[in-house]
Amino acid sequence: MVDFGIIGELPVPATYGRHLLRLFEPDKLLAGTGLTAAELEQPGRLITVRQALQYVRNTLNLATEADWYLGWSSSLADHFHGPVSIALLSAPTLGHGMDAFLKHFPSRIPYMHMQGRTRGSVFMAELVPLIDLEEAAPLLIETPLLLLQQHLDNVYGVDFSQASLELAYPPTPHAARYSQYFKCPIHFDAEHNALVFPTAWRELANLGYIESTWAHALSQCRATVASSRERETLGEVRERLCAAFECAHRTRPLPTLNELADRLHLAPRTLIRRLRRLGTTYQEITDEFLLARAQELLTNHGISIKEVAARLGFNNPANFGKAFKRWSGVSPGQYRAQRIG
């Protein structure tokens, strides 16, 4: 598991800080973080990802309604005025603004990699967690997606019935209320966390485009991006692993470490060293990736366990069974029975 306790930091006021302090009792909100309310009020204050995740877990425990964060996230765009927001508002086209958001917003949330991918006639704005977000996943994944939706709605007025939202986890207890906040159809237990929309939208012109404002916003985005080569490398590794499953004629689902290092134009030792600094290895990353893919496939009762094994690159289903049990503690059949039964 990747540990961003020391390496990963994020600016609190730009993410949660001041807004949540108004909603919850500060002492309870900050319990276990080692932080004070005064520290969160400091302009430019940085905290570790570990502190941020504890902070978010506290909000989930304190909230009286499970869907409270959806309403809060929907209103957050009104208070979100950093360079990424300005880039979205001033970009020449929807595609330019989208690319800027996906590239630069992760500097605010270093536990998340974002990428844009074209799949046939649709474009996917995808969020890939770099660590296990546990019970905080819905809040931390859906908040950026709601921010993105707000900007597309306000700036371009698109028809969201042509779009969809894919979430790679089961329906939440408050799933019935999502239609109050999201304007497009929602698909849970998907392979990805992504806002999916027609690729043609990327060409939509922004009537509010101002060249000087756009150029300045981009320069500010570049200046404020966290300079962690290790985190960037980890994001690239996850992106390459996702891409491996998109290849229709692959000979193996996942590249070897040497193959991946070559594609990233790195020496294998450099890749190993950067991952080690994040407290992980390529083997651990691929194991976590394969486990997540296996769990997604096993929830589909129409796919046999033998087919799941084959899709993950296992020639022998028995070897897949042993690997899955090593990863999760249960056999593929037991996992499927627990999820479907």
pLDDT at 226: 44
Reported as a pLDDT band with limits 50, 70 and 90, residue 290 is confident
Residue 12 CB neighbour total at 10 angstroms: 24
Mean pLDDT (whole number) for 101-127 = 85
Q: What is the pLDDT of residues 86-112, one digit of tens each?
A: 888 899 999 999 999 988 887 777 778
For the chain, what is the largest distance between any 2 Cα atoms, rounded to a whole number of angstroms?
Answer: 60
More confident residue, 329 or 53: 329
**What is the pLDDT of the chain when averaged over all its residues?**
82
- Whether the pLDDT of residue 15 is over 70: the answer is no
pLDDT at 11: 45
Reported as a pLDDT band with limits 50, 70 and 90, residue 14 is very low
Residue 112 CB neighbour total at 10 angstroms: 20
pLDDT at 294: 87
- Whether the pLDDT of residue 249 is over 70: the answer is no
pLDDT at 12: 46
pLDDT at 189: 92
- Whether the pLDDT of residue 281 is over 90: the answer is no
Boundaries of CATH 1.10.10.60 in the chain? 229-340
Q: How far is the C-alpha of 336 from the C-alpha of 329, rounded, in Å?
A: 13
pTM over 0.95: no
Highest mean pLDDT among 81-90, 111-120, 137-146, 222-231: 137-146
- Whether the pLDDT of residue 36 is over 60: the answer is yes
- Whether the pLDDT of residue 248 is over 60: the answer is no
More confident residue, 236 or 270: 270
Which CATH code of 3.40.190.10, 1.10.10.60, 3.30.1440.10, 1.10.1040.10 fits the domain covering 229-340?
A: 1.10.10.60
Residue 76 near residue 151, CB atoms below 8 Å = no
Mean pLDDT (whole number) for 263-274 = 90
More confident residue, 164 or 110: 164
- Whether the pLDDT of residue 53 is over 60: the answer is yes
Residue 221 near residue 84, CB atoms below 8 Å = yes
More confident residue, 282 or 47: 282
- CB neighbour class for 275 (10 Å; exposed up to 12, middle 13-18, buried from 19): buried
What is the DSSP-derived secondary structure letter of residue 172?
Answer: P
* Token pair for 328: 């999760």
pLDDT at 338: 81
Q: What is the pLDDT of residues 296-338, one digit of tens each?
A: 888 888 889 999 888 888 888 999 999 999 988 899 999 888 8
- Whether the pLDDT of residue 227 is over 50: the answer is no
pLDDT at 254: 82
| Residues sharing a CB contact under 8 Å with residue 73, sequence separation 6 or more, in sequence order | 139, 142, 143, 146, 147, 181
pLDDT at 19: 59
Side-chain-facing half-sphere of 50: CA atoms under 13 Å: 10
- Whether the pLDDT of residue 13 is over 50: the answer is no
